[in-house]
Structure 1
Amino acid sequence: MASLMEDIHFPHLSIPVTVKHKEAVLPAGPIPVNHGDTLYLSNLDDIIGCRVFTPTVYFYHSTPSMSKNVVEKLRDALALVLVPYYPFSGRIRETSNGKLEIFFGPNQGSLIVEAHSSIALADLGDLSTPNPSWSPLIYRFPNEEPYKVVDMPLLIAQVTYFRDGGFSLGLRMCHCLCDGIGAMQFFNAWATTARVGTLVASPKPCWDREYFLPRDPPLINYPHIEFMSVVDESSLTRSLWEVKPVQKCYKVTKEFQEQVKSLAQETNKDTNYTAFDAMAAHVWRSWVKALDVKPLDYELRLTFTVNTRHMLKNPPLKDGFYGNAVCIACATSKVEELIDHPLPWTADLVNRARLSVNEDYVRSTVDYVEVRRPKTLEFGGKLTITQWTRFLLYESADFGWGRPAYAGPIDLTPTPQVCVFLPEGGINADGMLVCLCLPETACKRFEELFCLIDKA
């Protein structure tokens, strides 16, 4: 069984990076706003969990077709794409009631940074799995506050040239402007425009954040325990925040996923569990057991996002909408229930949480945020699983130099209660990477539990 799941070790590196040049990138043509104008952000856009930048990195090996003017090519294509995607050239500010909006003023635009490293791309070793050591390849302002999005460039790109001709593209995109699907739409437009040399933006980008206006009066039809602030009286906080956890990544084959799904389905033939239902349940159970969470009667939460685009019928969401159109599903269980019940029981919890998200739930979420407007990220008793396997990370990142050697996040340790499912990077690869954070003392136990799916 262990051959179907492999612990991927990544090297601990020191990457010297020197920033050579920074440049604001403005739209290459007229845009439908003037200085002083503002754009509405929906309550799904400015929810507390979206008030972050999503950092990703893309590596490209040197090829004969690669131009030395990578920065110029990316900059020129970005300027073209910023015409239809003009909100990325603005800034975020907070209004009187704490809500966020986009505003437009002078000296804004996106930011592109040129940097150089004295080492070769080959010196980075294995590029198949995220490595926290890659952090210097993502630009951050000196003394930048954590979670700052107000008055920041909404797209920050750093191109780092390596000694052997390869380069990396490190991106920070403000989550307030787009969810994962929207980010891929924008990124694909940028890459395609760079590749063909003229603007390509299909589907036509649609802002339309007023689609998610709250009802008058607001109507909250669900308890929304996904947002609930709880006092973490369990050992989770101590395990994950009081010691520095390590980032672990496991390569999981398609066969492994199918076996987990088959086991989850074993005792309930009337419900069709997805591979995500089964894998999320398996990770959650293995994680809780490995961390030896106490007390046993403590109520835990598993949260994950659900894409709602296909659910929205009244009226339907317009094609090309790239804003946040996801809701947070939440499964709950006491520690002892997760430990004592078999995998199918937990998979059913995940399945029911996922299916509970519908159009009415979306509207209730919008209204809940309007009334309560949560101010802090809540981690109490929670594991959050983020599914990136549905995004075309590699296919959307061909700027003219082919697929990247790696595409995805870097460092999960700042939020150690997050687990990410990533697509495997090789051509025709159908496996995935499961990346999460654990204390050193829990790693071996997690691997043992995760492998033994036949005894789950």
Structure 2
Amino acid sequence: MDVTVTDSVLVKPVNSTPHHQLWVSNIDLVMVRVHSAIAYIYRRPPNGDSNVAEILKDALSKVLVDFYPLAGRLIVDASGRIAVDCNGEGALFVEAMTNSSIDDFGDFTSPSQLTTLVPSATYENGFTISPFLMIQVTKFKCGGVALGTGIQHILSDGASSLHFVNSWCDVVRGLQVHLLPQVDRSPLRARNPPRVNFPHEEFAPPPTLLQEEIMKRPQLEGSILTEETVCANHHCLVGILATPTDIAGEIVSNPLWYSAEKILESISKIDDGYLRSGLDFLELQPDLNAVVRRNDMYKCPNMVINSWTCLPFYDADFGWGRPTMMGHP
């Protein structure tokens, strides 16, 4: 799909916001350091689409007053630690158009079809120099509209990102933000002294198969099955991995309930005590970069499962109805 960018601006909070550095917890720092991208597809808005971008920009400037860290930037503070500079520089807002129609893409089952509907982030040496929040509004020739969002994962996970998007929707519809974000991350500081009460396999490199094992066992015996459980508190990210392990031969030779039981057993172990132990474990690491989660950690035979089934993606109603479709590029 050919997409032409027609305008690109920074949208700043409409009112003054606190200017300070926001401490970033250890659990935030080991998250994948990417912009999590979502594209929402809408049929033709009522009353045409000529002023959709202006309506969205105006509401964005208002909602950023409450969600002001999203208008900031990542920095490295005086101690050499990554932090959030709440400087009000603003969110990137891109306007674009395409000669394609929504119906040209069927049900958008291919993630590659959505890539051009979300702004691309820029990284240097694994460190983003792009705004935390990047928005793209793309108009289709049929009158439909795509809204692409990219939000830096260090600052916000799926649940808290949707809290922002759906709050933005409320402002567009003339409502108030009904649940203000909690931006203080101090509850996620490690204990003093740190107390590690559990083994934390979720922060260890996943196991690999020796080449000779691969040749002997094409059914991929020796794999790891992982399930991610994440709790978000309004832009105060709390993420921990439940990490069940088993032999792939056992997984493929047993009924589906066998694997489900393994996952549930592992998830059931995660409570406040386990989370605190994990935060303390990270505090004791000499180099957090060594345990940063990377996409290449979950190649075959390892896997990560992250369920979005309960997330309110389709509540993103800006006044012209719920999205026809949403997807992750």
TM-score (normalizing by structure 1): 0.65
Contact 2:224 2:248 in 1 (8 A): no
Shift of 1:368: 1.9
Contact 2:195 2:277 in 1 (8 A): yes
Shift in Å, 1:385: 0.8
Tell me, in whole angstroms, the C-alpha distance in 1 between the residues paired with 2:266 and 2:106. 40
Give the Cα separation in 1 of the matches to 2:210 and 2:303: 13
- Paired residues for 1:177-256 under 5 Å: 177-196=155-174, 200-230=176-206, 232-233=208-209
Change (3 A) 1:231 1:97: farther
Residue number among 247, 251, 255 corresponding to 1:342 in the alignment: 255
**Residue of structure 2 equivalent to 1:46:** 29
Is 1:114 aligned to residue 34 of structure 2? no
> Residues 148 and 157 (structure 1 numbering): CA distance in 2 closer, same or farther, change over 3 Å?
farther
- 1:323 corresponds, among 236, 239, 255, to 236
User: CA–CA distance in 2 between the matches of 1:208 and 1:222?
Assistant: 26
SS in 1 for 2:245: strand
How far apart, CA to CA, are the structure 2 residues paired with 1:301 and 1:95? Answer: 37
In 1, distance between residues paired with 2:93 and 2:78? 31
Matched residues in 2 for 1:178 and 1:145: separation?
Answer: 18
Return the alpha-carbon distance in structure 2 between the equivalents of residues 163 and 350 of structure 1.
46
* 1:131 counterpart letter in structure 2: P
Contact 2:206 2:224 (C-alpha < 8 Å) held by counterparts = no
Instruction: Give the Cα separation in 1 of the matches to 2:107 and 2:292.
Output: 39
Q: Is residue 46–residue 99 contact of structure 1 (8 Å, CA) maintained in 2? A: no
Counterpart of 1:83 in 2: which secondary structure?
A: helix
Check whether the contact 1:130–1:408 (CA below 8 A) recurs between aligned residues: no
- Provide the TM-score with structure 2 as the length reference: 0.89
**C-alpha distance in structure 1 between counterparts of 2:235 and 2:293, whole Å:** 25
Q: Distance in 2 between matches of 1:220 and 1:293?
A: 36
Q: Compute the displacement of 1:178 (Å).
A: 1.8
Q: Which residue is 2:41 aligned to?
A: 59
C-alpha distance 121-345 of structure 1, shift in aligned 2 (>3 A): closer
Alpha-carbon contact 1:41-1:102 (below 8 Å) kept = yes
Q: Is the 8 A contact 1:208 1:321 kept in 2?
A: no
Shift of 1:229: 1.5
The code of the aligned residue for 2:114 comes to W
Contact 2:18-2:86 within 8 A present in 1 as well: no
State the Cα deviation string for residues 252-306 of structure 1 (Å, max 9, x = none).
xxxxxxxxxxxxxxxxxxxxxxxxxxxxxxxxxxxxxxx9443x3x2x2222222
Distance, in Å, in 2 between the alignment partners of 1:85 and 1:408 is 24
The partner residue of 1:25 within 5, 8, 11 is: 11
Report the Cα distance in structure 1 between the residues aligned to 2:208 and 2:159, rounded to whole angstroms: 32
- What letter corresponds to residue 101 of structure 2 in structure 1? A
Q: Which residue of 2 aligns with 1:398?
A: 317
Unaligned runs of at least 5 residues, structure 2: none
Output the CA distance in 1 between the equivalents of 2:210 and 2:52.
50
1:88, 1:110 within 8 Å by CA — same for their partners in 2?
yes
CA distance in 2, matches of 1:164, 1:308: 39
Give the superposed CA RMSD. Answer: 2.4
Letter in 1 for 2:81: K
Whether the 8 Å CA contact 2:134–2:150 is kept in 1: the answer is: yes
Distance 1:64 1:109 in 2: 29
CA deviation string 1:79-136 (max 9, x = no partner): 0000010000100123466632101447x21100011112222222224x45322211
Alpha-carbon shift at residue 403 of structure 1 (Å): 0.7
- 1:64 partner SS: coil
Would you say the 8 A contact 2:71–2:87 is kept in 1?
A: no
Instruction: Identify which of 202, 220, 225 aligns with 1:302.
Output: 225
